Amino acid sequence: MRIGNLSFANNIALAPMAGISDPPFRALCAQLGAGITPAEMVSADVGLWQSAKSSRRLRRWRGASTQIVQIVGYDPGMLAEAARQAEALGAAAVDINMGCPAKKVCCQLAGSALLRDPGLVSSIFRRVVGAVGVPVTAKIRTGWSPELRNGIEIARIAEEQGIAALTVHGRTRACKFSGFAEYETIRQIKRAVGIPVIANGDIDSPEKAREVLEYTGADGIMIGRAARGRPWLFACVNSFLQNEKSSEVNTHLLSVRDIILRHLDSLYSFYGEFTGVRVSRKHLAWYTQDQEGGRLFRERVMTIESAREQLALAREFFDRDSFEASAESRRSWGERSGKNSKQQETEQA
């Protein structure tokens, strides 16, 4: 897939989910088949970039794939300066967040709140595109509310102002993550513009990926919440889209156990032991969701303070027969939906 002057391995993207799509998770998903892996969003206020959270989000790690920096804000000048700074740090593309439905973001007139002001959207696109030499993309929703579903208007503005590609989540801001994503608006947006369009929302299986691609005519798909605890979903989708026969993971892939243990090790390496152990807890909760013995495992692992003990407990749990490297076990894990809890992180893309 091509976006501007950039070429990606395929048209399957990992959503830049805040608190989830950190460098270790992006690297893991890329190894398992995600062709596009944007970083978590950072504020357009570059004065905040020295904080521990923002500096980690901007950090390149272990030869990470093409770095796409996502910025969020409402002021065209600040967003343009943030894009310049991101390019100076080595970003190969800049993505503008106009899709986040979180109250703390929308209260600042940023994220999906911008969809209520097409004039401001046009100014932001024009200033940011003019500020950098790398491709500028944007993530939007279908509108502010079902009554103000203006995604087509915003998409046309994006194309007019030089946006290189557009990702569209199939809900309005008012919908947040409730109900079901609708793809008709994405289909209409794809027909209305000539730039690449990536469809997002409720894509949680290889079959759903193909269904959305075929219905919308989109150039690519973005997977968010469904990848938590199932990073191998990208491999399943790739396999299914390529041969259209089976959504099972190819037999050459590592076992589920090895994928999980490798992920834990990378988190310790990236964050250090103290933070790495704590970040690992939520991933282990997702990895063991709906698995036999998972509740007891989670109760134990949440109290462990050392990386050595956490890794040992995880290895013991995942060494069971049900986690052997078999297509059957990967398939069963690949079918589990990742959309059902109030404790899940907000998708910030």
Catalytic sites, residue numbers: 100
Q: Are strands 6-7 and 2-3 parallel, antiparallel or unpaired?
A: antiparallel
Residues 6 or more apart whose Cβ sits within 8 Å of residue 64:
23, 26, 27, 30, 37
* Torsion, Cα of 280, 284, 287, 290 (10° steps): -150
Which regions of the chain does DSSP assign to beta strands (E)?
Answer: 2-3, 6-7, 12-14, 42-43, 68-72, 93-98, 136-141, 165-169, 197-200, 220-223
Query: What tokens were used for 271?
Result: 């964050």
Question: Closest Cα to residue 330, out of 249, 254, 260?
Answer: 249
Per DSSP, the residues of 187-199 read: HHHHHH-SS-EEE
Query: How far apart (Å, rounded) are the C-alpha atoms in residues 108 and 20?
Result: 23
Query: How far apart (Å, rounded) are the C-alpha atoms in residues 173 and 314?
Result: 38
Q: To which residue do tokens 């075929």 refer?
A: 214
Query: How far apart (Å, rounded) are the C-alpha atoms in residues 326 and 86?
Result: 42
Question: Closest Cα to residue 199, out of 231, 179, 223?
Answer: 223
Residue 135 gets which letter from DSSP?
A: -
Cα 153 off chain centre by: 24
Question: Closest Cα to residue 171, out of 227, 225, 248?
Answer: 225
